[in-house]
């Protein structure tokens, strides 16, 4: 379900990364998210693993939507995705933008032996909120932002200085 504003909380910190939409972007995105969150002082291993998984699922969908997983496809200026991380008072907001207008739809439960098709369900299970916003042409060159809010652990270890 689309949601125009994923949060009403003020953003305490924000970071962003633009990547070429290739399969190795997913690994880079996970590494980036972990580095940023650790830099912000979030050191809980389970929280970081959940954040990596959410980033991985959202980025995989964005890269797949653009169709640049086939090495025969010519990379164009629209072959980029962006990850936005925002620290709020009680959660991190993870957003992934891609220029493709197709909105994400859960496909129902895939067969038990399927290798794909569970990403959005995993994201919904791990996060407090998730959704998407379709952007008009002109803003980020159109496309959409898919987002999820991942709550901080109840008793997170102290933040690094």
Domains and CATH numbers, the chain: 13-151 (3.30.565.10)
What's the rounded Cα separation, in Å, for the pair 118 and 141? 28
Highest mean pLDDT (candidates 6-15, 42-51, 132-141): 42-51
pLDDT of residue 120: 74
Instruction: List the beta strands (DSSP E) in 47-159.
Output: 80-87, 91-98, 129-134, 144-151
Question: Are 50 and 57 contacting, i.e. CB atoms less than 8 angstroms apart?
Answer: no
Q: Find the largest Cα–Cα distance for the chain.
A: 48
Q: What is the model's pLDDT at position 149?
A: 96
Cα distance between residue 124 and residue 132, in whole Å: 12
In angstroms, the CA 26 to CA 30 distance is 6
pLDDT in tens, 69-117: 666 666 666 789 999 999 999 999 999 999 888 887 766 666 666 556 5
Q: Is the pLDDT of residue 3 over 50?
A: no
pLDDT at 156: 53
Query: How far from chain centre, in Å, is Cα 106?
Result: 16
Distance CA 19, CA 81 (A): 5
- Say what the pTM is: 0.83
**Percent of the chain at pLDDT exceeding 70:** 73
Residue 16 clears pLDDT 70, i.e. is over it: yes
- Using the CB atoms, write b or e for 122-153: b if 16+ within 10 Å: ebeebbeebbbbebeeeeeeebbbbbbbbebe
Assess contact for 114 and 130: CB atoms under 8 A: no
Contact yes or no for 103/134 (Cβ under 8 A): yes
């Amino acid at each position: 379900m689309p949601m125009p504003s994923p949060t009403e909380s003020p953003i305490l910190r924000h970071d962003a990364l633009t990547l070429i939409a290739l399969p190795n972007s997913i690994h880079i995105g996970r590494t980036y998210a972990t580095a940023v969150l650790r830099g912000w002082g979030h050191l809980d291993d389970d929280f970081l693993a959940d954040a990596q998984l959410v980033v991985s699922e959202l980025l995989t969908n964005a890269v797949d939507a653009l169709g640049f997983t086939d090495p025969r496809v010519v990379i164009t200026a629209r072959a980029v995705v962006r990850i936005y991380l925002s620290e709020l008072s009680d959660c991190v907001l993870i957003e992934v933008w891609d220029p493709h207008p197709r909105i994400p739809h859960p496909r129902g439960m895939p067969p038990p032996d399927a290798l794909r098709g569970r990403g959005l369900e995993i994201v919904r299970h791990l996060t407090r909120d998730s959704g998407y916003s379709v952007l008009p042409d002109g803003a980020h060159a159109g496309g959409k932002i898919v987002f999820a809010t991942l709550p901080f652990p109840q008793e997170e270890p102290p933040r690094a200085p």
